[in-house]
Amino acid sequence: MAVTLEQAQKVGCTCLKALLRFAFMVANNLVAIPSYVLYLIVLQPLRILDSKSFWYIEGVLFKWLLAMVASWGWWAGYTVVEWGDDVKAVSEDEAMVLVNHQATGDVCTLMMCLQDKGTVVRQMMWLMDHIFKYTNFGIVSLIHGDFFIRQGRAHRDQQLVLLKDHLEKYYRSRNRKWIVLFPEGGFLRKRRETSQAFAKKNNLPFLKHVTLPRVGATQVILKTLVAPQENGSPPGGDAVRKESRSKGLQWVIDTTIAYPKAEPIDIQTWILGYRQPAVTHVHYRIFPVKDVPAEPEALTNWLYQRFIEKEDLLTHFYETGAFPPPQGQTKAISREMTLSNLWLVAIQSFAFLSGGMWYCFFQYLYHCLF
């Protein structure tokens, strides 16, 4: 089939735009990530004298880095609409966030939609596949204190021990509030067939849009971060729960990401912007941690139920274009998530100015020494 001049121009324009976006992303990384590292090296004395202030500054810089990643998608027209519970109400409490996993763009989506949730982004910890340690952002995540988990049966027990040690060492000492994990343990397209075979063998529901989650990391997080009196009904009832509200993990936020036509956005699309503008939909449901069972079998059933509910949510979304209303209500309310272009330009400008400053500093140092 012959290609028209108009089609050729459109393809050429898309390729040029993708090339320019890629060049900007590379330049952005070359100035922002080294600047983040250098600022924190210079601030090491503060870390010794006032650790709380050091990690506050680190958290602000970390949030700005994530906002830069969010801006790449935002300026390409990849926006977010939110449904369900309003997580801003618990943004200052400790929470565990459970997310379905379809593509690399899931992380970028979360980086975007959590930007306007108060202090969440700068005080959050991510659990991610160990392969991300070797990406350009790996050094940032290592410094921030995220946990890289190695997948596979052979590593599972050891990784859970390491996760427990990591949480005990870094979570509270760095004033973390939210911890984000993907319990499916991999992308939907890679795990769906195995999960469906496991479900059939164990008489569990057949799932198409999610896979059955793995429970190990969730169990370790709950055991390590939940205050003892939160699981079950403590003596003293509501008065004790109120007193302990600021202590330990308080909430589990079940987060479901849905893409139009079930076509996930990957990191390449996020960077290059060659796909048409699209709206990603994110649904939240908040559970008090006291309602989450602690026993392994009961916790497994509870977590399976969450992903069965995700399956129903996604089925409804793909059929209707909207998530269903909460139980007892007749209409689902959506909220368009917005970012300030002025703020995004300001932090991008700060990154490039910082890069220029560090370049001048090292040039001056070089001339002084040689």
> What is the pTM (predicted TM-score) of this model?
0.89
Mean pLDDT of the chain, nearest integer? 90
Lookup: tokens for 281: 């939909």
What are the distances in angstroms from CA 347 to CA 58, 61, 69, 215, 310? 15, 10, 11, 38, 35
Q: Is residue 300 in some structural domain?
A: yes
pLDDT(237) > 50: no
Residue 236: inside a domain: no
In a domain, 239, yes or no: no
Q: Does the residue 180 lie in any domain? A: yes
Q: What is the 3-state secondary structure (H, E, C) of the chain?
A: CCCCHHHHHHHHHHHHHHHHHHHHHHHHHHHHHHHHHHHHHHCHHHHHHCHHHHHHHHHHHHHHHHHHHHHHHHCCCEEEEEEECCHHHHCCCCEEEEECCCCCHHHHHHHHHCCCCCCCHHHEEEEEEHHHHHCCCHHHHHHHCCEEECCCHHHHHHHHHHHHHHHHHHHCCCCCCEEEECCCCCCHHHHHHHHHHHHHHCCCCCCCCCCCCCCHHHHHHHHHHCCHHHCCCCCCHHHHHHHCCCCCCCEEEEEEEECHHHCCCCHHHHHHCCCCCEEEEEEEEEEEHHHCCCCHHHHHHHHHHHHHHHHHHHHHHHHHCCCCCCCCCCCCCEEEECCCHHHHHHHHHHHHHHHHHHHHHHHHHHHHHC
**Rounded Cα–Cα distance for residues 88 and 335 (Å):** 12
Residue with tokens 């996930």: 264
Establish if 237 belongs to a structural domain. Answer: no
| pLDDT at residue 5, rounded to an integer | 72
Domain count, the chain: 1
Q: Angle at Cα 130 formed by Cα 138 and Cα 257, nearest 5°? A: 90
Q: What is the pLDDT of residue 243?
A: 39
Tokens at 103, concatenated: 């593509």
Q: What is the pLDDT of residue 182?
A: 95
The pLDDT, as a whole number, for residue 82 is: 97
| Domain around 210 | 5-227+247-324+332-369
> Residue 328's pLDDT band (boundaries 50, 70, 90)?
confident
Query: What confidence tens digit (pLDDT) does each residue in 161-183 have?
Result: 999 999 999 999 999 999 999 99
Rounded (5°) CA angle 290-294-299: 105
170-184, 219-233, 236-250: the lowest-pLDDT one: 236-250
pLDDT of residue 133: 86
Q: Using alpha carbons, select from 314, 315, 313, 288 the residue that is nearest to residue 302.
A: 288
Residue 224 has pLDDT above 90, yes or no: yes
Tell whether 234 is covered by a domain. no
**Residue 264 domain-assigned (yes or no):** yes
Tens digit of pLDDT for each residue in 43-87?
999 999 999 999 999 999 999 999 999 999 999 999 999 999 999
Note the pLDDT of residue 241. 42
Residue 294, domain member (yes or no): yes
Contact 250, 237 (CB under 8 A): no
Distance CA 197, CA 103 (A): 22
What residue has token string 């912007």?
Answer: 273
CATH of residue 183's domain is 3.40.1130
